[in-house]
Amino acid sequence: MSKRSLQKYLSELTEDQLREQLMHLYTTFKDVKVYYDFVFNPREEKLVNESKEKIANEYFPVRRKRPRARRSVAQNYIKHFMTLGVNPLHIADIMWFNLEIAVTFNKERKFKQEAFYKSMAKSFDEGIRYCSVNGLTDEFLPRIRKVYEEVVTQNWSSLDQIERSMELLSD
């Protein structure tokens, strides 16, 4: 169904029918419920803290022995928060938290997989671009530099990609 067709259909409904449809969507689809729960009671700080706990648990698990260290967990939170319209400051905070925790983990237990370094370089680039677009670079610059310095110290295989991303800060 096109947007135009939907608008036509909705304009033909009465106010009560619209309410009924929204309630049906709310009870039927989890994404709709999550969206409306967020809109009417944002609690961004709580969401951010929960996501940080789960990201940290990927690298430093509380209940299991082996870390999973999946970049996708953080990426899913970031994508979800962007969809909900969470404050860009909180989204950037999660982006850099993910990199900080990954760098800390790698310092203790070196990764052997090249894919980890490539994905973290991509996360680094996305973080810098996101901060730049949203005017948050000055606020996150100390964290950016700290992650960069640690990457240099650890001599990551993706260091050249990360250095190219750092050059975006000087432009």
CB 86 within 8 A of CB 64: no
pLDDT given at position 108: 87
Question: Do the Cβ atoms of 97 and 81 come closer than 8 Å?
Answer: no
Distance CA 128, CA 136 (A): 9
- Give CA–CA dist 157/121, Å, rounded: 10
Distance CA 100, CA 92 (A): 12
- What pLDDT score was predicted for residue 154? 92
Task: Give the C-alpha separation, 55 to 31, whole Å.
Answer: 21
**pLDDT computed for residue 141 by the predictor:** 95
pTM of model > 0.85: no
Contact 162, 124 (CB under 8 A): yes
Amino acid (1-letter code) at residue 85: G
**What pLDDT shows up at residue 56?**
93
Q: Evaluate whether 129 touches 168 at the Cβ level (below 8 Å).
A: yes
Residues lower than pLDDT 70 in the chain:
171
pLDDT digits (tens, 9 = 90+) for 120-166: 999 999 999 999 999 999 999 999 999 999 999 999 999 999 999 99
Distances (CA, A) of 128 to 51, 162, 166: 20, 10, 8
Task: Give the per-residue pLDDT at 43.
Answer: 84
